[in-house]
Each structure stands twice: as structure tokens, then as C-alpha cells.
Amino acid sequence: MAEPHTDPSPRPAYWWRAVQLILLIALFVFIARAIAAEQDKLRVAASAITVNWPLVAGAGAIVLATYAALIQSWRVLMSGWGSSLSYAAAVRTWTIANLGRYIPGKVWSVGALVVLAQREGVNPVAATGAAVLGTLINIGAGFGVLAVTGSVVLDALGAGYRSLAWIGSALFVAGVVALPWVLPAILRVIAARRPSMRMPERDLPPHAIWMAAAINIASWAGYGAAFMLLSRALLPDVSGALAAFVAIWTASYLVGYLFLIAPGGIGAREGALVAAVLALGIAGAAEATILAAASRIGLIVLEVLPGLISLALAPKARRSRS
């Protein structure tokens, strides 16, 4: 009797994980070597730092306010499809789902947002559509803001980045204009093929998309303002207009987000931030590295801590609804 044929080659998923691991190791080795080359300057720069804690607190408050606005943007999209979610429930859902940013692949936070929203009683299609559409609007708005504020930064990051930003912003504008008419047609096709799927109560109105886009554009300005305060809290001699800090933050965040293999964009975002700071001449290499490290620490705290608090309070919230 012939033995069953077995394929000795590993599954594609294993190969992809191996590639992710190799690229991540290479990225961290590159960063470690860059830091080692600047360690003397880093030591001098770090020894001269006196933290202005009120400015740090102000930066954190702006980031949290920006999160609050983005949560409302998500609620606007769901409400446009006829699914309501209280702001408290939306905060709990959004902050817990945000923990998925630190899993390689970037889709986990979106998936978690969908699953948690459905548990809160949101229509599955509305939950999925709002999560995916909100992410695309956020990325598109980032490209638009970057195209307007960051030509020098884009040129410093590499050839073609400025063109990519303008293409991204053009697609963003076209999408915002076209989506109110395109989405209903897409949903009708899905409904025809999946009659058992419960469709949203109504089509997404144009004003919901436009309001979400406006909130996301403002959010990038908020992040830039927070980064400016943090920079001046650590390095009082740092100068530059708000637009420069918005461009630096937006460029580095988008690079980190689009670098799919890095959880939370760790490494890629910091490298882009240092390059952008140096391109604008805001600080030297050692100071730029300190700003990158400090902004990463602040970002982790402000993304992870609210999610952990929401996880701790979630059981109590569920008992109060039952």
C-alpha cells in the first residue's frame, strides 16, 4: 500500500513569517548601528536634557483629544449607515482594538474593531465598512496633508515620495467625492450575492464622509502640534513652524503604518522621523534620535494604556448593560 504523499515544504504562511522576522531583524540591526555611531553625541545631548513636564502633559492631552475626535469620526460613519453606538462604548471598543496595532500586519486592529463593534450590537456591514473606510480616509488625509506641508521632507525620504504623496492626496479627494455614489452600488452587489447578510438601514450620506474626512485632516494637525510641544519640552532650542512638525510626524507615521511587517511601525517610523528632522534642519542627528525615541515611548503609552484600562473596565460595563 502506497504511503500518502506529504509535501515537505512549509506552508506559505511560515515563509511569510520567516521573511517578516528577517526583515525586522535587519531593520533593528540597522537602527542599532546608527545609534551606536552616534552614541557619544547621544550621551552629551541626553545629559543636557531638562524635561519640561507641563509641555509633555500638553502634548499628551492633544494626542488624547485627537483620539477622541477620531473615535467620533468612526461613530459618524456608523451612524450614517443607521447604526448607533454610544460614545462611551465607542471609546471602549476603539481603544481595545487599537492594541492590535502592535501585531504585525496592521489588519488586526481593524478586524478587532469590527468584531467588538458587532458585540455592541452594530450592524456587521456598517461595522466593517466604517472601520475599513475610516482607515482609508485617515491614510488618504495623511497623504493630502503631507503633500501640502512636506515637500522638503518627502524629497529627503527618497526619490518619488513627493509624487506618491500627491497621487495619494488626489486619490483621497477623488474618493471622498465619489464614495457617496460608489458605495451604495458596491453594497447592492454584495446584497445580491449574499441575500442572508443584513445590509445597513440606509445608504451612507455624503455629509458623513465629508465630516469624517475633515476630522481626519484635523487629526494630523493635532498630532503635529503634539510632536512640536514634545520636541520643545525636551529640546528648548528646537525651532520650526507648526507645518514642519505636522509634515515630520505625518511622513514618519505613514511610513511606519505602510511598513506592514513592523508592529506599530516600530523602527521604520523612527528612521523616517530622524530623516525628516535632519532634512528640515530642526535638530542634529543625536537630538533627532532622542526625539524619535521619546515620541515612540509617548505613543506606546498613549495607545496601550487606554486600551488596557478599557479591557479592565469592560466586564463591569457589560454587567451594567445586562
Mean pLDDT of 36-53: 60
Dist CA 320 CA 176 (whole Å): 39
pLDDT at 316: 53
Computed over its alpha carbons, how large is the radius of gyration of the chain?
22
Phi, psi of 283 (to 5 degrees): -155, 165
Among 34-38, 166-170, 177-181, 292-296, the least confident range: 34-38
> At residue 12, does pLDDT exceed 70?
no
> At residue 17, does pLDDT exceed 80?
no
* Three-state DSSP state, 116: helix
> At residue 7, does pLDDT exceed 70?
no
The tens digit of pLDDT for each residue in 190-239 reads: 666 666 666 666 778 888 888 999 999 999 999 999 999 999 998 888 88
**Minimal CA–CA distance to 119: which of 280, 264, 315, 253?**
315
* Three-state DSSP state, 99: helix
C-alpha grid cell, residue 68: 477622541
CB 52 within 8 A of CB 232: yes
Give the domain ranges of the chain. 57-317
105 C-beta neighbours (distance < 10 Å), count: 14
CB 221 within 8 A of CB 65: no
CB 295 within 8 A of CB 87: no
C-alpha grid cell, residue 256: 511606519
The tens digit of pLDDT for each residue in 58-106 reads: 999 999 999 999 999 999 998 888 888 899 999 999 998 888 777 665 6
pLDDT at 223: 96
Mean pLDDT for the chain overall: 77
Which range has highest mean pLDDT (159-163, 181-185, 273-277)? 273-277
pLDDT at 225: 96
pLDDT at 97: 87
CB 252 within 8 A of CB 276: yes
